[in-house]
Chains A and B, each alone.
Chain A
Amino acid sequence: MSASVAARPPATRWQRWRRQYTLAAVGGVLVMLWILIAVAAPLLAPYAPNAVELSTRLLPPSAGHWLGTDELGRDVFSRLLYGARISLVTGVVVVAVGAAIGTLIGGVAAYAGGLVEEALMRLTDLVLCFPPIILALAIGAALGIGTTNTIIAMLVVWWPKFARLARSLVLQQRSLEYVEAAVVAGFGPGRILLRHIIPNSIGPLIVLITLDIGNAIIIFAGLSFLGLGVVPPTAEWGSMIAAGRELVAQWWVAAFPGFAILSIVLGFNFLGDGIRDWLDPRSRRF
């Protein structure tokens, strides 16, 4: 970009903001919308999510059932609203707990160095050796069906990526002078790691967390699709798709939960990209 004598006026603050953050705003709105839906599901849902009514099974979308009914006559729209609760909660819990465990392991590894680092990082590599879905599936199958068990199974495969990222972030910070100043002040390693280093490494972690919630939602829905995850008849998007997988003519049974997953994952991804841009001053034009 070369300079020219002030011909066209420089872009205003708002123009630059719009150029960079429109998608992030769309993502934020989608995520907010789904959170509101999850919270207000009992108020919004026209029917109880698990009310079986065999006389009205497999009805196409209509004024009475906006998104139709499934093979047991349950209202797809109502189940979709309630399903948002499970998806959001599992997504957030898996990522939050996974990030916490991973950050601690990676942080301790980087700060301690030596044998501790070697042991922790090889453990991380060990978990990363397995295809995550297959490993989670195996652990989930061993633990039994249920939301909690599936979350535990996912956590086992979830923390390593955070451990790796946290390790590299802590290594970066550890050599900075403010950390040496904390050592010189006499602070112990726990305080230095938790109070000084990790708060300064949090930016990229937040980005990964936001981008990852969508990912966790997909994996959880995938596990539910395969029969793990929620106990029937709980309304959950993955199991709703599973129920509709053979019903080609009744496309609405599987398609609407699919769109729901698509929109929530897209929302988290747009939001995560936006946060990354905002935290990275080099890509920040606004």
Chain B
Amino acid sequence: MTQPDPVLEVRDLRTWFYTDHGVARAVDGVSFTVNAGESVGIVGESGCGKSVTALSIMRLLEEPARIAGGSIRFRGRDIVDMTPAEFRTLRGAELAMVFQDPMTSLNPVLRIGSQLNEAMTVHGPSAAVAARRGIALLGSMGITSPERAVTSYPHQFSGGMRQRVVLAMGMSNEPALLLADEPTTALDVTIQAQILDLLQALNRDFGTAIMLISHDLGVIATICTRVIVMYAGEIVEQGPTEAVLAHPRHPYTWALLNARPGLDQERGDRRLITVEGTPPDPIAHPPGCRFAPRCPFRQPVCDEHPTLQAVAPDRLARCWLAGENDAPFVRQPRPPRPAVEEIVTAAEPIMEVRGLVKHFRLRGGFLSKPSVVRAVDGIDLTIQRGEIMGVVGESGCGKSTLGRTLMRLYKPDRGSIKFAGQDIANASAAQIRPLRRRLQMVFQNPYASLNPRMTVESILAEPLRFHGLTAGAAATRARVDELLGLVGLGAAARDRYPHEFSGGQRQRISIARALAVEPDFIVADEPISALDVNIQAQIVNLMMDLRERFGLTYLFIAHDLAVVRHICDRVMVLHLGQVAEIAPADDLFTTPLHPYTRYLISAQPALHGPGAGSGRLKLTGEPASAIDPPSGCRFHTRCPIAQPVCAREAPPMRMLRPKHEVACHFAERLG
């Protein structure tokens, strides 16, 4: 074995924010090494210091953040002490970074080609050389017809394509190290799979070392050989990915792993393991083990701050209990709960949807004719009372539009929606108002779904008063307290404003608001996708509890298939406004009949460790557009088993297994 050759050596890095309230120690004594050609992942909840570590390495910190101590050596040179001019010769050349949001990391008024060339010419090559290399690079990033791409503007590209361009820019000077900060978080799971494949290929073919930052262990597991787990500004565990995933030695890693349901996991209890609480305030870290306040395995010794110590060859952990054995943490047995399946008693449909169509007309430009987005294009769906119906699909498949049309936030163009026997598709706003009490919605973005200028009390009390559900101020107050209790927030939350709460707490308030009017049916539009994995688990558990208590029916819209499989009774797969497949959850995931479903399932990152994903179903190409959907079967342009008939005839919905319907001409081939 050759001596490892470190590209990056971080020693005792301390990046502190000098705020008015005190010194926030965002990164507090972090040391690690990235060897040439290695791929290292950094994982942790938001606020654990992952991104600040990356920004420190790229020297992109802004006041009041300062590097308060430690060293960062890149190829043997200390970059903390370099002058800005010296560092600029490295940044973008030998050391490159890719950011999370591809929508904002390209300059919208410059052509792709000139941005790409500029990234190279500032570091040496002539314009002509750069232009040639740019086209070759875009080609190797999987962009079809790169000659045309260089003359395009960023807005002409989708998010996935833009991220490829950003990667091409990062790779343009063949850096020794590429920092990728949540590079796929803003993308669809199918596009995420393609970008991760690409990152892996860059690492393999160019020998570029990759430092990947993500909140998603699955993403890290897909491409990284080594993983670093951060908590409260410190490294709490470090080791080879497979070993860490198989036998975590720090309870935080264990919690991260268990909060996430496995896609291949049979469903037992629908509740997920969570650790309560949030990371500590970086201004006042607990003096002992920083995870101790949340740790289910806490011991008296944890009052003392543990050091990062070797627990096995190549493995470090910052825990007194990490010990010598391989599995120090075991699931605590939980009290048995009544089987949730029993709730679905009477097969009584609460929501019956027939031939639902919702199109959006886009205003045409000057001289161009207006186009129509076929967001929902003929959907039939029956939901039984007490059922959890999952809806999955890529963005733009019409899942949110479907949810909002069922809520009558949009008026459908055609079709019928029967809610509890009443037709609401054509009802006027005044006719719907009395039904609003029974139909509620929980939204995706906890930062936008609460009125920022109202206190929690007025947010919850307004619908109570409006619908006359409580008599008098005292009763309203009591009900508000009760609602806050239901969602696990104390009465102290009452007088505070939404911005004083974390994302997960806001989502609880949002759920309390939906519950205030005692609804029967709740549309949850990606209620957990903006949250950290541990908070996701908490919200899922809360939703399951509330369903049991109040006999709620959910339409659960999500893109995380693992969660959908875990909590839903039935799942509907949408593709470009139409139903591709609908089946009981376990059946759908064990025997998917539609090639699109298969594709979605295989794109989901799993905790297998790198290399295991190579058996993934690979599809090339971008999702087709709902403005001008393909003829016949809308999936045929991307489908690996498409035949000529697929382009001509739209496949009918067929029931091939009990309760398992699919719209594919050749579904039998997959069954």
Contacts and interface: CB of A to CB of B under 8 A. Distances in A.
Contact of B441 (A180, A191, A199): A180
Interface residues of B, number: 48
A185 B517 contact: yes
B363 to A, nearest CB: 12
Contact of A2 (B59, B68, B513): B59
Interface string B425-457: 000010011101101110111001111110000
Interface in B42-78: 56, 59-69
A186 B513 contact: no
B400 to A, nearest CB: 11
A3 B87 CA distance: 12
A185 B437 CA distance: 7
Contact of A177 (B65, B433, B448, B467): B448
A52 B67 CA distance: 73
Contacts of A5: 66-69, 80-81
B451 A177 contact: no
A142 interface: no
Interface string B64-105: 111111000000000011001001000000000000000000
Contacts of B240: none
Given A177-B448, A178-B449, A184 B441 contact: yes
Contacts, number: 90
A4 interface: yes
Interface string B393-412: 00000000000100101000
Contact of A181 (B62, B433, B513): B513
B18 interface: yes
Interface in B491-549: 510, 513-514, 517
A191 to B, nearest CB: 8
B205 interface: no
B20 interface: yes
A57 interface: no
A267 to B, nearest CB: 28
Contact of B462 (A1, A183, A185): A185
B462 A6 contact: no
A101 B87 CA distance: 56
A13 interface: yes
Contacts of B437: 186
Interface residues of A, number: 25
A147 B251 CA distance: 76
Given A177-B445, A181-B510, A184-B440, A3 B517 contact: no
Q: Which of B56, B439, B466 has the most CB of A within 10 A?
A: B466
Contacts of B436: 184-186
Contacts of B66: 3-6, 10
A219 B517 CA distance: 52
Interface in A1-44: 1-6, 10-11, 13
A65 interface: no
A177 B462 contact: no
A191 B429 CA distance: 14
Contacts of A3: 15, 56, 59, 61, 65-67
Contacts of A188: 429, 433
A200 B452 contact: yes
A10 B64 contact: yes
Interface in A168-189: 176-178, 180-188
Contacts of B463: 185-187
B664 to A, nearest CB: 34
A196 B466 contact: no
B409 A183 contact: yes
Given A2-B61, A4-B67, A186 B441 contact: no
Contacts of A180: 404, 409, 441, 443, 449
B419 to A, nearest CB: 13
15 contacts: A1-B63, A2-B60, A2-B84, A3-B56, A3-B65, A6-B68, A176-B449, A178-B451, A180-B443, A183-B409, A184-B440, A184-B441, A184-B514, A191-B466, A199-B453
Given A178-B451, A186-B466, 10 more contacts: A3-B65, A6-B67, A10-B64, A177-B448, A178-B448, A183-B409, A184-B409, A184-B439, A186-B433, A199-B453
Interface of B: 15, 18, 20, 56, 59-69, 80-81, 84, 87, 404, 407, 409, 429, 432-434, 436-437, 439-441, 443-445, 448-453, 462-463, 466-467, 510, 513-514, 517
Interface of A: 1-6, 10-11, 13, 176-178, 180-188, 191, 196, 199-200
